[in-house]
Amino acid sequence: MVPFNILVAVCLAYVCLLFVVAFAAERRAEQGLARWLRSPVIYTLSLSIYCTAWTFYGAVGYAARSGLEFVTIYLGPTIVMAGWWVILRKLVRIGQAQRVTSIADLISSRYGKSNLLGVIVTLICVVAATPYIALQLQSVTLSVGVFASETPEGWALPDQGATALWVAGGLSIFTILFGTRNLDANERHHGIVMAIALEAVVKLVALLAVGIFVVWGIAGGIGDVIDRVNASPIADWPLKPARWMGLTFVAAAALLALPRMFQVMVVENSDERHLATASWAFPLYLMLMSLFVLPIAVVGLGTMPEGANPDLFVLTLPLANGQGKLAMLAFLGGFSSATSMVIVCSIALATMVSNHVVTPLWLSMRQGGVRAPGDVRGLVLMSRRVSIAAILALGYTYYHLSGGSAALAAIGLISFAGVSQILPAMLGGIFWRGATRVGAALGLSVGFGIWLYSLYLPSFGPDGLLSARILAEGPAGIGWLKPQALFGIEGLDPLLHAVFWSLSLNTAVFVGASLLTFPNPVERMQGLAFVNAFDQDPGVRGWSRGGVEAEDLLTMSQGILGADEAQEFFQAEAARQGKGGFLPETTPEFIERLERRLAGSVGTATAHAMISQFAEGAAVSAQDLMAVASEAQQILEYSTQLEAKSEELARTARALQEANDKLKDLSVQKDTFLSQISHELRTPMTSIRAFSEILMDPELPGAMQQKYAEVIHEETIRLTRLLDDLLDLSVLENRKVQLTIKAANLHDLLDKAVQAASNTRPERSFVYNRDTAAEHMPVITDTDRLLQVFINLVSNARKYCDAERPELTILTRKRGGRIIVDFIDNGTGIPRESQRLIFEKFARLTDTQRAGGAGLGLAICREIMVNLGGNILYLPGQGGAAFRVSLPVKPESQQSAEAA
Amino acid sequence: MGRHVLLIEDEPHIAEAIRYILTRDGWAVTSLDEGGAALAAIRREVPDIVVLDVKLPGRSGYEILDDMRADPALSGLPVLVLSANLPREVPAALPGRGGLSRFLAKPFANADVLAAVRQMAGA
């Protein structure tokens, strides 16, 4: 006897073990040590979630009720696995290439990423899986009940509903903990896979142990069992070929279409080659699982009391024979079967619900779109967690509503029939390019509807969800619409009836609607990618003959090359093949040439992608699309470069233009300069010549002679000064001036300047404002030249300052190794527009008389200051005319010599 | 025939020389040393001939000439233009300005000035 509390303790301990295994596997995976987790053996063991509690407990019951028919449930998957090269390999390849996350994602992606299809498939899966999950809860509840009734003390056990609730709650917590830890790119769950692999071992060992005990412990060995089989009613059970074929087909379809199988087989697959191992190892596993089903059923039927539930023989036989520990092992096997199925199934369904229902809804409701990536990630994780809990809650509700009475196998088959509705759209999608979204959506809907009406709803029993009247007479008395005898076909097994009608109409509508509708471009591209999944190896290119119409290619080419050029090309190609007209044979050579021609216009990747829309033998792969993108990128970069180049050219042109303008300016300046020199020279010359001629007049009075001779003398001096200035300026401008560097006191220099300038307009009283104390500072430079500048500035002030009481303020200071001297008068200053002209040659702003010079003074000052390593600037905003002279305290060459 | 000359010249020594030359020949010479007041002075007392410098403070000789030609009352007045600028810079239109203007480059020969004034003023 196994006390109930020990049973609970063992269960908890077992779950804890699963936790540890799953956690350890996750940790190893995170550390990048997942390699051994991903062996073919683990993969094969993970496939064993096909064997749920239904297989573990129910197969025996099935055998007890229907003889060898239970074998079909193993036969279907075995056939699919044996033929893995045909379907499974392609599914896995597509799954990897398209990064498929669930079966709903597969269908949605194949048919042009249609979310409607994703929703339909999700709906089918959730509805079909709900009874299946209920089945697992029921089996665990029943098995717990077995131990309870065996308890001699007759403990007050929680009622069955409460047990199911506890199981459902516990499983949802475990699943949420390990199924939604992260958003793995490919939705892979290392921990979960490892845990269910362990559970696969536990359930196999448990069933084998019970089988061995039954055969050799209760019965008298193999021979005895065979005798018992022959003697039992099972041997007389008639083989119904239609039902066998139907069930085998449904089981095969279910293996492909069950969300949890798709999850472990395709999504969790890390290496296509594992399929090769699984193709024999998984059928072997199924064979071992089914090996002792018949003996246990026969022995159970023979030895257990009348009315004992054959679904529980695996548990009750050891218990009845006093094998408490074996029964415990069997219980754990059943528990493993149930839990592994529920965990994976709810993960798969939650992925579908969150990806195809919750997230799209949320995104469409949010007008602003996605603001932060973290937003969606959090949402998806949360919606998966909630979905897992909701799916288990649905399962529990179904269990509660259906009363947990129906035979396990019947519930399982209803589920199988439900998910097998996905099969036409799935197989059509990966083998038939003509399959369209509309076809798939209509086929799925029709099949799903018929399944609901003829199998699912009636499964709740008369007056469950469909009234007994409808079941017996059809809706509103329409006989041919009777749920279990559609179109007047009576007497068929309800399951076969439903499978037949739902799948055949599903397929017919799918094919028919696909033929009548046209796929959109995305659909067409995805269709190619799916159907030609094996031709996508990089480097494999080239086109196969057939399947493409020259006319289609011509139409497309006209759009790219232009009508004339395309027609010309096609005509030439046809002529090359010895044909007339515009339509050459679509030989691979021709398509290659066309592709190259198109590539000239739109780039190679784009051309390939476009031809791929029509031609067989190649598909648009992700690489192709990436290439399209990178081609566009290159074009963009190239045009950016061109832009930069033309920018550069424009800059160069501007620079040339500027240089040219400068040259023109220089030329104009030169002309202006010559003209000005000419004018400045001719003016004194005019006076000299005119008075010379006058002096030649013998009648000229003596006083006049004297006066005119003085004029000539004065003008000659003026002329000489002008020539001196010009020569001086020329020397200074060519930087060929010989500087005589010596030290002086700035104060003394300013004194001399004021003194020298005093004969300029001496009639005016002129006030100097000076801070003589500040002026005492040494300066080492060409002091004569500096003095020349000072004199010029002071003279200018005296000449041009138009104030009533003219004043000149001279400010001196030293700043950063430079001496700064400002000359500021209190006149009206120099107009802004003239300020930049004053240092130019001959830029005399006022009339000649007042200036008394040729207008070279400031130009010479500027050149002197440049030669002294300083500068002279006009200082605006000082009230009057203001000039700032600045120069180094000592010449730079001398400074650096001292520093060195 | 009148013998009145208006001399517009900013260089004092040149103006003095021209005045001496013309006065000695019997001309009455009025002098102006800038261009701004020239036109008003001409209108106040129309001379028989204007001797005009080009580079003048206030208003250039050519501007004054253009204004005179635009004024019907003054358009027939003879003008002798004197300039220290290079001859090629003399506006090409000058000889066409009614045939009443003549150009002399500085430095000039005193005799040329006198001859030009005599001829242009019809004396």
B11 close to A (CB below 8 A): yes
Instruction: Say what percent of chain A tops pLDDT 70.
Output: 78
pLDDT at residue A185 above 50?
Answer: no
> Are A847 and B106 a contacting pair at CB < 8 A?
no
Q: Is residue A488 part of a domain?
A: yes
Q: Residues A291, A247: one domain?
A: yes
DSSP A847: -
More confident residue, B85 or A12: A12
Q: Is B52 helix (H, G, I), strand (E, B) or coil?
A: strand
Identify the domain boundary among A733, A758, A776: A733
Q: Which residues on A lie below 8 Å from B57 (Cβ)?
A: 846-848
Inter-chain CB proximity B11 and A675 less than 8 Å: no
Assigned domain for A531 exists: no
Strands A767-770 and A807-815: parallel
Considering the domain architecture, whether residues A355 and A479 belong to the same structural domain is answered as yes
- What's A213's DSSP letter? I
* pLDDT at A793 (0 to 100): 92
pLDDT at A536 over 60: no
Among A686, A847, A849, select the one facing B106 at the smallest CB separation.
A686
The answer to whether the Cβ–Cβ distance between B84 and A682 falls below 8 Å is yes
Give me the pLDDT at residue A837, please. Answer: 75
Give me the CATH number covering residue A656: 1.10.287.130
Are A564 and A508 part of one and the same domain?
no
pLDDT at A405 over 60: no
B108: chain A residues, CB-CB within 8 Å: 686, 689-690
CB atoms within 10 A of CB A254: 27
Closest by Cα among A868, A882, A114, A836 to A519: A114
CB contact under 8 A, A690 and B110: yes
- Tell me which chain B residues have a C-beta less than 8 angstroms from the C-beta of A674: 86
> How far does A763 lie from chain B, in Å, by closest CA?
20
pLDDT at residue A315, as a whole number? 82
pLDDT at B6: 93
> Are residue A694 and residue A827 in the same domain, yes or no?
no
CB contact under 8 A, A693 and B109: yes
Taking residue B102's Cβ as centre, other Cβ atoms within 10 Å add up to: 18
B82 CA: distance to closest CA in chain A (Å) = 11
Spatial separation of the C-alpha atoms in residues A563 and A576, rounded to whole Å: 20
pLDDT surpasses 90 at B19: yes
pLDDT attached to residue A492: 65
pLDDT band, very low/low/confident/very high, at A378 (cuts 50, 70, 90): low
Q: Check whether residue A757 and residue A704 sit in a common domain.
A: no
Total domains, chain A: 4
pLDDT-based confidence at A2, cuts 50/70/90? low
CATH number at residue A885: 3.30.565.10
Average pLDDT over residues A198-221: 86
Q: Which residue of A has its CA nearest to B22?
A: A694
Does residue A860 lie in a domain region? yes
Of A94-98, A205-209, A565-569, the range with the highest mean pLDDT is A205-209
Please indicate if any CB of chain A lies within 8 Å of the CB of B1. no
Structure tokens at A197: 């692999």
Cβ <8 Å between A685 and B89: no
Which has the minimum average pLDDT: A512-516, B22-26, B50-54, B74-78?
B74-78
* pLDDT (average), residues A407-419: 76
Could you tell me the domains of chain B? 4-121 (3.40.50.2300)
Q: What is the mean pLDDT of residues A326-344?
A: 85
What number is the average pLDDT over the span B21-40? 90
In single-letter form, the type of residue at position A518 comes to F
pLDDT of res. A614: 65
Coil, strand or helix at A875: coil
Residues A719, A842 share a domain: no
- Can you give A112-125 as a three-state secondary structure string? CCCHHHHHHHHHHH
Alpha helices (runs of H) in A34-180, residue ranges in sequence order: 40-47, 53, 59-66, 71-82, 88-97, 103-110, 115-150, 160-179
Give yes or no for B57 touching A (CB within 8 A).
yes
Question: Is the pLDDT at A462 greater than 60, yes or no?
Answer: yes
pLDDT at res. B14: 92
Cβ within 8 Å, pair A685-B110: no
User: Which pLDDT score is estimated for A667?
Assistant: 81
In a domain, A241, yes or no: yes
Which pair of tokens denotes residue A846? 């006022």
Predicted local confidence at residue A468, as pLDDT:
64
- Whether chain A has a CB inside 8 Å of the CB on B16: the answer is yes
Q: Check pLDDT > 90 for residue A183.
A: no
Q: Mean pLDDT of all residues in chain A? A: 78
- Rounded to the nearest angstrom, the minimum Cα separation between B62 and chain A is 16
CA distance B73 to chain A (A): 31
Does the structure show a pLDDT above 90 at A689? yes
- Of the candidate ranges A329-343, A456-470, A627-641, the one whose mean pLDDT is the lowest: A627-641
- A723 lies in which domain range? 652-733
Domain assignment present for residue A691? The answer is: yes
Within 8 A of A848 by CB-CB distance, chain B residues are: 10-11, 57
Confidence of residue B22 (pLDDT cuts 50, 70, 90): very high
In a domain, A471, yes or no: yes
Asked if B109 is an interface residue toward chain A (Cβ–Cβ < 8 A), one would say yes
- Among A96-105, A153-162, A817-826, A875-884, which is the least confidently predicted range? A153-162
Give strand ranges (E) for A339-495. none
The pLDDT tens digits for A52-97 are 877 788 788 888 877 778 888 888 888 888 887 778 888 888 877 7
pLDDT at residue B18, rounded to an integer? 94
Q: Where are the beta strands (DSSP E) in chain B?
A: 4-8, 28-32, 49-53, 79-83, 101-105
Integer angstrom CA distances of residue A629 from A527, A611, A634 = 21, 17, 9
Asked if B109's CB is within 8 angstroms of A687's CB, the reply is: no
Interface test with B, best of A682, A710, A712, A845 (most B CBs within 10 A): A682
Boundary-marking domain end, from A631, A666, A685: A631
Whether residues B13 and A687 touch (CB distance < 8 A) is answered with: yes
Judged by a CB distance cut-off of 8 A, whether residue A666 touches chain B is no
Nearest to B14 among A675, A687, A846 (CB): A687
Tell me how close the Cα of A711 comes to any Cα of chain B, in angstroms.
7
Chain-chain contact of B106 with A682 (C-beta, under 8 angstroms): yes
Per the CB < 8 A criterion, the answer to whether B84 and B55 are in contact is: yes
Question: In chain B, what residues touch A686 (CB-CB under 8 Å)?
Answer: 11, 14, 17, 84, 106-108
A772 and B CB contact within 8 Å: no
Q: Are A443 and A528 in contact (CB under 8 A)?
A: no
Q: How far is A862 from chain B (nearest CA, A)?
A: 26
Mark whether A674 and A748 lie in a shared domain: no
Closest CA to A879 of A825, A812, A821, A806: A825
Interchain CB contact of B25 with A (< 8 Å):
no
Average pLDDT over residues B72-97: 70
Q: Which amino acid is at A876?
A: P
**Residue B113: closest CA among chain A residues belongs to which residue?**
A690
Task: Identify the bridge partners of residue B82 per DSSP, sorted by sequence position.
Answer: B53, B104
Q: Of A219 and A276, which is predicted with more confidence?
A: A276
A162 is written with which tokens? 């409460």
- Please tell me the least confidently modeled range out of A342-351, A639-648, A747-756, B58-67: A639-648
Cβ-defined contact of A693 to B110 (cutoff 8 Å): yes
**Residues of chain B positioned with their CB less than 8 A from the CB of A687:** 11, 13-14, 17
Task: Give yes or no for B107 touching A (CB within 8 A).
Answer: yes
pLDDT at A605: 47
Contact B10 A847 (CB under 8 A): yes
Domain boundary among A602, A631, A660: A631
Is residue A146 located within the same domain as residue A120? yes
Is the pLDDT at B29 greater than 90, yes or no? yes
- Any CB–CB contact under 8 A between B54 and chain A? no
Partner-chain contact A686 B110, CB within 8 Å: no
Q: Which residue of B has its CA nearest to A846?
A: B57
Task: Assess if residue A872 is contained within a domain.
Answer: yes
Nearest CA in chain A to B9: A683
Residue A541 in this model has a pLDDT that exceeds 90: no
CB of B66 within 8 Å of a chain A CB? The answer is no
Mapped to the 3 state alphabet, what secondary structure does A370-439 carry? CCCHHHHHHHHHHHHHHHHHHHHHHHHHHHHHHCCCCCHHHHHHHHHHHHCCHHHHHHHHHHCCCCCHHH
> Is A848 an 8 Å CB contact of chain B?
yes
Residue A647 lies in a domain: no
Q: Based on the fold, state whether residues A356 and A293 are members of the same structural domain.
A: yes
CA-nearest residue to A683 within chain B is B84
Between A686, A714, A847, which is nearest B14 by CB?
A: A686
**A121/A211 same-domain check:** yes
Candidates A270, A88, A117; CA nearest to A186 is A270
Report which of A349, A499, A337, A353 is spatially closest to residue A414, judged by C-alpha positions. A499
Residues A88 and A24 in one domain: yes
Determine the distance in angstroms separating the CA of A849 from the nearest CA of chain B, rounded to an integer: 8
Spatial CA neighbour of A819 closest among A732, A891, A742 = A891
Cα(B104)–Cα(B83) distance, rounded to whole angstroms?
Answer: 7
Whether this model's pTM surpasses 0.80: no
Asked whether residue A778 falls in the same domain as residue A721, the answer is no
Query: In the predicted model, what is the mean pLDDT of residues A221-244?
Result: 76
Mean pLDDT of A701-725: 89
